[in-house]
Structure 1
Amino acid sequence: MTGELDSSFTYSLINEIECGVLILDAQMNVLVWNTWLVEKSGIKQSQILNRPFCDIDNIQGVMRLEMSIQQALKHKLSSKLSTALNPTVFPLFSYGGQDPKSHPEQSRIKQAISIQPLLIAARDETCCFISIRDVSDSVKRENILKQKSNELQLITEQLQSEEIVNHAIMENITDGVMSFDDQGRLIQVNPAAESQLAMPLNVGAVHFSEIYQLSAKYSHLSFSEQIELSDLLGEKEQAKWHDFYSPKLKVGISAESSFVRIDLPHTHLYSLVLRDITERKQTESTLNHLAHYDSLTGLANRLLLMDRLSQALHRANRSHAVVGFMLFDLDRFKLVNDSLGHSVGDLLLQEVARRMKSVVREEDTIARLGGDEFCLLIENIETDSALTLVAQKVLDILNKTMELDGNKISISASIGIVKAAKGQNITQVIKQADMAMYCAKERGRNKFEFYNDQLNFSYSNKTGLEQELHLAYKNNEFELFFQPQVALESGIMLAVEVLLRWRKSRDEVLPPADFLSLLEDMGLIIQVGNWVLEQACYYRESWRQQGLISDTCTICVNLSAKQIIEPDFADMVKYTLAQTKMPAHLLELEITESILLEDQDSVSEALLELQALGILVAIDDFGTGYSSFSYLKSFPVDILKIDRSFVFDVCSDPDSAAIVTSIINLAHDLGMQVVGEGVEDDYALRYLIDHKCDRVQGYLFSKPLPYCEFMAYIEDQTAELNRRRNLIPSMNNSA
């Protein structure tokens, strides 16, 4: 059936069952289309397998279906499509495999559709499993039962003229029944009616008008005229009661009323049936709440938000008003879930909902879309400043420390804001808010951003770049460059830093700054980072075995925040070292200062595990981030790398010189080594020598080189390295 999966037994079973089985992968491509679907749709497996789901023509209610599929793929939520809303979603017919285009729409079979997530281990991804049952026969049976029920109702009405049957029914049914003569006087009442009405019902003494009131347009008519002329009696002489209402129902009771006319030889009687639907109303209310509100936070859910946003945009189109829409995403919420557990994560979401409700108006709609995504719908907004004020209030209230289950938690949010005006639809508004929200994240989180047309351009570029990066990873377009670090004391190459590059073409090579953050957003950074580490260790051992580097030369690899907080990161590093047979103390892992503040507990724990293996830890670009010398005592750090911006003008800028000197002295006092980055001239080199810096790297020695050029460098540039080796001692001696 498909080459994507490998169990022939499963396929045989799927093809034998008497229902439709459709499986979609994470990109909504068709993986499974069983024999039942082929027979009912006329669409062969060869026509649909591995093609996009949207290639299936003539699907009804496609938006509702796609929303349920996305819930299964992204949020792992199961759902069933109501046959009441649309019983014929897929183009499936009872014609037995004829050309579907030649068959009338009326022959579509009625379908019960179940949608649920399905983890396929062989593909390592969550897919969507859709089962489709033919319920046409069930619908027919229901119609027959309804017909029989109507026939039984007619028989019952005929029997009501017989006193003994009438009395038995009246005394025992749960519906309230009152009978009136043609003048409106009460002539019969059962116990159920007496229990429903808050007044005594004395036969012969109570008039219909004391129980029920009629709408004003009928008030001038007599009782019998009111009944006959108020459209209550339909063609079957029985109808719902739309024009009457009763102020006499007991508090808390909801009733549904209908009239039945009984024809006697010389007159008419009218029986009023009161059905207590209180429990049904309560059930409907409960189901309505479950359908429209998030069970965890009590906020509106996606379905209710879409409805309210649609109505708000419709009103805005009529009145030229502006609708404010904000999309929120909690920053680093995953860290809370991973480190403290889902129970604390749920408490956090509930507290976020409570705080958000405290800073907005009662008429505004706050909704939880799923996971850690929230949104806010605000109508009647006049200015940007009003939306800015609300967004800032939300950021401020969320920034306050939360104490949840004994844990003190700090959280922030990134907010995308859209001012929706005339002509915009739901899809546009949500897409624009999403673009603005991700722009706020890229600006450093805990910020809000208004949508503008430039964001749309950037978003399109980002989407295109994401697709290119997926292909780059698949096609092995990532490449390693290498730059030596030289010891100032001896002048020899003491370490090699490994640097990631993306070779888009033979002449175009992109540095990490152009794509690294996007790799993190896409979730590819873990795979790419692990590949870099494995290749670096392999190359280092290969060079050592060839005698191209010294036995003590270390290899330096940069890490991202997402890598280091992976629960099994230390185990992965240990496994890589074992596979490449490289000693742990010759591996140097570089992190930035900002990583230390991502999740201090998780990062500290990970660094301690690495230190226990004997691995060296370096802080890259030191001095440019959240520089606080105090945190150096809290983390197991071995090496500080002075950022190139300070080294570059160390001889011309007194401030840079003071910073470089302070970093060197501090590091040595704490027992750390120091590396000066960006050394491009002899003046900077001399300054670092004079102030006892341990190592340097920069264009003065070599720029980052691709593998073949670096091999040539360490083989053919021996004379140049010897010149530098001789230069450094002479500088030391002259000092």
Structure 2
Amino acid sequence: MFLSRRRKDKSDPAPALPAGEARRTVAPATLGPSHTAQVLNLLPIPAAIVERTGERFCFESVNRPFRLAGLGTTVDQSPVIVRLGDRIAEFLDSNTIEVEFDWELGDTVDARFFRVRLARRSTEKRANRCLVTLVDHTSELRTQRSLRREMLTDSLTGLPNRAGFGEDLEAEIERAGVDRFAILVINLDRFSRINACMGGLAGDELLISVARRVKGALRGHDNLARTGGDEFAIRLELDEGIQDALHVAKRIQNALTTPFRLSDFEIRVDCAIGIAIGDGEHDDAEELIRHAQFAMKRSKESGRTEVYQTRAFDVVRQEFSIETELRRAIDNGALSLNFQPICDLATGRIVSFEALARWTTEQGIALSPVEFIPVAEESGLIVPLGRWAMHEAARTVAHWDRLAGGDCGAKVAVNLSAIQLQRDQIAPMVEAALAANAVDGRKITLELTESALVTDPDRIARTMHALKDLGTTLAMDDFGTGYSNLAYLQKLPIDVLKIDRSFVSGMLADRDKVAIVRAILSLAMALGMQTTAEGIETNELAQTLAALGCNYGQGFLYSRPLDADAAYALLSERSA
């Protein structure tokens, strides 16, 4: 038989007391000092109960980790009270239950880092005692700082790297203002060649040696960094303005004058130096570094130390803007071709048109080819731009032939950039344009400059022969303004020499120009080539050139560049 036990319900009345006995109330137990110490010793981290009496502090209890951490057992010896007394007093005077903060204890070399927590029970607000606990983060912070130091340091030279240099510069600008500083950027000439010929180890050795010499040429408070493969940057504090920076740049160049010995070789190192001076308008560290790098690139072109100029930077920024918009214009078909007639000087008949690219930007600004063609060449956009021009020219001449009911009687000349000749497969591109528009190669003239022949003569020769096989006419544009190897010129299948306008304009008043034009005409005749003179603006000049034996002329005398419809109308009018 099981006995059931009824669970006591909370609503049951309290049991009655014997007669004559009063109910006693039991106060909650409180921990004495010994019990408090026992509880604190259960904590694995330094802990102490701090009590304030008047203006003085005392330890009610500290645990064993607190003593082992060297945090003291008496208030007079404890750095917790000596260093943090004001923080503890502020906490005790507040209504806050707990607060945490970081605390660094000791010298920089052997400093320790704690996360300090002050706490008390909610019933003890504004009481005069609290619990202090400390968590030691020293090893973690030292590891973090070590990793960060490695991230901001160049492993080869031990100098600050790009990120470290930028952080240091930001801190110094905030401390003293940007006007106090200049940035020098140094780039070594021909370093990639040394690396390729002698190997990476020799290149590293050279970089270390260069860093030491440059460091030796600086003042004590200047900061040197390695910001790239063969690029160094220096933060200079200016005392005498820009003269300080120029003086340091000269000392660096002098320091690098003595050759470096690597293995059995003596290596002479030249460098390009760009300088940017801080000013109130540009107080951003990264912007100051970019300005110095821009000046350094100009130094590589000029061969002398360059100081950043706002106007030059604005020009480059404008070119970058042109590049961005030009890319969109090519993708969206926003360019057009104009056509300038080329006439037979003997009869005045139009024999050809030179196709010239025209572009009106999204803002409605008409840019000259002189402005956007160099940008296209530098950015590589000349390849898609050249392909578009070739296809558009072929499409236009095919359209004119259809309007004329056969052969319109004129060719179209298309310019080929030297950069385009290097980077594109020209012959297949031209063949594709001719095929796509059903145009005979004899309707197309391809104009290239002398500079195109210098880059890779053998490859250009093969390209030109391939273009001749397509039936095209080849013309050398701006002849006389560049480098001409006459012996090589003789071997190329060139049909026409175009005499540059610089020799034609004002020729009648300049005997030297007449002599040059006469010499070019004689050379063309000896090589079996025809000639076209550019820049003809008067009938007298046209007649003189014809008398000297020039075949064709081009210039404002005949017409300015016209759109396709106006060009065909002019062709029809002259043919009639």
Which one-letter code corresponds to 2:173 in the other structure? Answer: L
Using the alignment, how far apart are the partners of 1:470 and 1:397 within structure 2?
45
Is 1:653 the counterpart of 2:510 in the alignment?
yes
- Is contact 2:162–2:225 with CA below 8 Å preserved after alignment? no
Using the alignment, how far apart are the partners of 2:453 and 2:346 within structure 1?
30
Report the alpha carbon displacement of residue 647 of structure 1 after superposing the two structures with TM: 0.7
Using the alignment, how far apart are the partners of 2:418 and 2:542 within structure 1?
32
Using the alignment, how far apart are the partners of 1:661 and 1:612 within structure 2?
31
Q: Map of 1:80-99 to 2, 5 A cutoff?
A: none
Give structure 1 stretches of 5+ with no counterpart. Answer: 1-149, 155-217, 219-223, 247-255, 257-276, 399-410, 720-735
Which residue of the partner structure matches residue 166 of structure 2?
306
Choose which of 631, 636, 642 in structure 1 pairs with 2:499: 642
Q: Deviations over 1:84-131 (max 9, x none)?
A: xxxxxxxxxxxxxxxxxxxxxxxxxxxxxxxxxxxxxxxxxxxxxxxx
Using the alignment, how far apart are the partners of 2:399 and 2:208 within structure 1?
58
3-state DSSP of counterpart to 1:703: coil
Which residue of the partner structure matches residue 275 of structure 2?
417
Which residue of the partner structure matches residue 293 of structure 1?
154
Which residue of the partner structure matches residue 556 of structure 2?
699
Q: Map of 1:591-670 to 2, 5 A cutoff?
A: 591-597=448-454, 600-601=455-456, 604-614=458-468, 615-626=472-483, 632=489, 637-670=494-527
Using the alignment, how far apart are the partners of 1:359 and 1:677 within structure 2?
55
Is 1:564 the counterpart of 2:418 in the alignment?
no
Choose which of 501, 508, 531 in structure 1 pairs with 2:388: 531
Report the alpha carbon displacement of residue 673 of structure 1 after superposing the two structures with TM: 3.4
Choose which of 430, 442, 445 in structure 2 pairs with 1:573: 430
Using the alignment, how far apart are the partners of 1:668 and 1:529 within structure 2?
31
Q: Map of 1:31-50 to 2, 5 A cutoff?
A: none
Using the alignment, how far apart are the partners of 1:669 and 1:553 within structure 2?
26
Which one-letter code corresponds to 2:437 in the other structure? Answer: T
Is 1:674 the counterpart of 2:535 in the alignment?
no
Which one-letter code corresponds to 2:502 in the other structure? Answer: S
3-state DSSP of counterpart to 2:512: helix
Choose which of 411, 421, 429 in structure 1 pairs with 2:288: 429
Which one-letter code corresponds to 2:169 in the other structure? Answer: L
CA distance 1:657–1:387, change in 2 (3 Å): farther
Q: Deviations over 1:196-237 (max 9, x none)?
A: xxxxxxxxxxxxxxxxxxxxxx9xxxxx999x95859999xx
- Is contact 2:495–2:530 with CA below 8 Å preserved after alignment? yes
Q: TM-score, normalised by structure 2?
A: 0.60
Report the alpha carbon displacement of residue 496 of structure 1 after superposing the two structures with TM: 2.0
Report the alpha carbon displacement of residue 308 of structure 1 after superposing the two structures with TM: 3.5
Q: Map of 1:175-214 to 2, 5 A cutoff?
A: none
Which one-letter code corresponds to 1:642 in the other structure? Answer: I
Which one-letter code corresponds to 1:612 in the other structure? Answer: A
3-state DSSP of counterpart to 2:536: coil
Which one-letter code corresponds to 1:293 in the other structure? Answer: D
Q: Map of 1:509-520 to 2, 5 A cutoff?
A: 509-520=366-377
CA distance 1:473–1:575, change in 2 (3 Å): closer
Is 1:499 the counterpart of 2:356 in the alignment?
yes
Q: Deviations over 1:254-278 (max 9, x none)?
A: xx9xxxxxxxxxxxxxxxxxxxx9x
3-state DSSP of counterpart to 1:293: coil
Using the alignment, how far apart are the partners of 2:563 and 2:293 within structure 1?
38
Report the alpha carbon displacement of residue 657 of structure 1 after superposing the two structures with TM: 0.9
Which one-letter code corresponds to 1:326 in the other structure? Answer: V
CA distance 1:243–1:377, change in 2 (3 Å): closer
Report the alpha carbon displacement of residue 464 of structure 1 after superposing the two structures with TM: 5.5
Report the alpha carbon displacement of residue 583 of structure 1 after superposing the two structures with TM: 3.9
622-631 vs 526-535, greater mean Cα deviation: 622-631
Q: Map of 1:191-340 to 2, 5 A cutoff?
A: 229=77, 289=150, 292-293=153-154, 301-314=161-174, 316-317=176-177, 321-326=180-185
Aligned residues between the structures: 450
Give structure 2 stretches of 5+ with no counterpart. Answer: 1-40, 46-69, 85-102, 113-138, 257-268
Which residue of the partner structure matches residue 713 of structure 1?
570
Which residue of the partner structure matches residue 452 of structure 1?
309
Which one-letter code corresponds to 2:170 in the other structure? Answer: S
Report the alpha carbon displacement of residue 709 of structure 1 after superposing the two structures with TM: 0.7
Which one-letter code corresponds to 1:425 in the other structure? Answer: D
Using the alignment, how far apart are the partners of 1:489 and 1:393 within structure 2?
66
3-state DSSP of counterpart to 2:356: strand
- Is contact 2:350–2:571 with CA below 8 Å preserved after alignment? no
Report the alpha carbon displacement of residue 630 of structure 1 after superposing the two structures with TM: 6.8
Report the alpha carbon displacement of residue 637 of structure 1 after superposing the two structures with TM: 4.9
Using the alignment, how far apart are the partners of 2:199 and 2:335 within structure 1?
39
- Is contact 1:328–1:414 with CA below 8 Å preserved after alignment? yes
Which residue of the partner structure matches residue 236 of structure 2?
379
Which residue of the partner structure matches residue 335 of structure 2?
478
3-state DSSP of counterpart to 1:379: strand
Report the alpha carbon displacement of residue 531 of structure 1 after superposing the two structures with TM: 0.8
Which residue of the partner structure matches residue 3 of structure 2?
none
Report the alpha carbon displacement of residue 555 of structure 1 after superposing the two structures with TM: 2.5
- Is contact 1:313–1:323 with CA below 8 Å preserved after alignment? no
CA distance 1:626–1:479, change in 2 (3 Å): same
Q: In angstroms, what is the RMSD of aligned CA positions?
A: 5.7
Which one-letter code corresponds to 2:465 in the other structure? Answer: Q
Using the alignment, how far apart are the partners of 2:430 and 2:272 within structure 1?
33
Report the alpha carbon displacement of residue 517 of structure 1 after superposing the two structures with TM: 2.5
3-state DSSP of counterpart to 1:519: helix
- Is contact 2:446–2:475 with CA below 8 Å preserved after alignment? yes
- Is contact 2:294–2:313 with CA below 8 Å preserved after alignment? yes
Q: Map of 1:462-477 to 2, 5 A cutoff?
A: 462=319, 465=322, 468-470=325-327, 472-473=329-330, 475-477=332-334
Using the alignment, how far apart are the partners of 2:450 and 2:253 within structure 1?
24
Report the alpha carbon displacement of residue 698 of structure 1 after superposing the two structures with TM: 1.5
357-366 vs 576-585, greater mean Cα deviation: 357-366
Q: Deviations over 1:149-197 (max 9, x none)?
A: x99989xxxxxxxxxxxxxxxxxxxxxxxxxxxxxxxxxxxxxxxxxxx
3-state DSSP of counterpart to 1:717: helix
Using the alignment, how far apart are the partners of 1:651 and 1:680 within structure 2?
12
CA distance 1:240–1:453, change in 2 (3 Å): closer
3-state DSSP of counterpart to 2:507: coil
Identity score, percent: 29
Q: TM-score, normalised by structure 1?
A: 0.48
3-state DSSP of counterpart to 2:531: strand
Using the alignment, how far apart are the partners of 1:591 and 1:465 within structure 2?
24
511-520 vs 488-497, greater mean Cα deviation: 488-497
CA distance 1:502–1:384, change in 2 (3 Å): same
CA distance 1:589–1:718, change in 2 (3 Å): closer
